[in-house]
Amino acid sequence: MNSNFDKRNPFTVPDGYFEDFSAKMASMTQTSMPSLPWYKKTKSWIAIAATLSGVLIGAKLLIPVEMATKTVAQQHTVEESFILNQMDEASLANYLCSNDAEEQTSNK
């Protein structure tokens, strides 16, 4: 089967092709990178700044509400402690019983 095929190379290279091949290739591949417009360069930084400011503003809006709620709850607890220390057990029991009776009649 090998005898059916010719052993010589059917392809030829033009004369002087490789003499200036590297210079031609270098000139074909040297292209300058196009400069990006300013808005494409700063687009990611603007997005990061917007996200960060959104998080900070959101945190600023939510934290004072939470802190105010805790302050009111602490103040309420202090007032309750003071009142409970001033009352005797019988008065407290009467108050709680009357309060429960009022809630049951208002729920009906």
pLDDT at 51: 96
> What digits encode the pLDDT tens for the residues 62-95?
776 666 666 666 666 777 777 778 888 888 788 7
| 23: pLDDT strictly greater than 80 | yes
Number of domains in the chain: 1
For position 66, what pLDDT does the model report?
63
Tens digits of residue pLDDT in 56-71: 998 888 776 666 666 6
Map residue 35 onto helix, strand or coil. Answer: coil
Domain that holds residue 16: 2-107
Distances (CA, A) of 108 to 97, 98, 101: 17, 16, 11
Q: What is the pLDDT of residue 28?
A: 80
Write the DSSP assignment of 39-75 as a string of letters: HHHHHHHHHHHHHHHHHHHHHHHHHHHHHHHHHHHHH
CA dihedral 54, 60, 63, 64 (to 10 degrees): -150
In terms of pTM, does the model score above 0.75? no
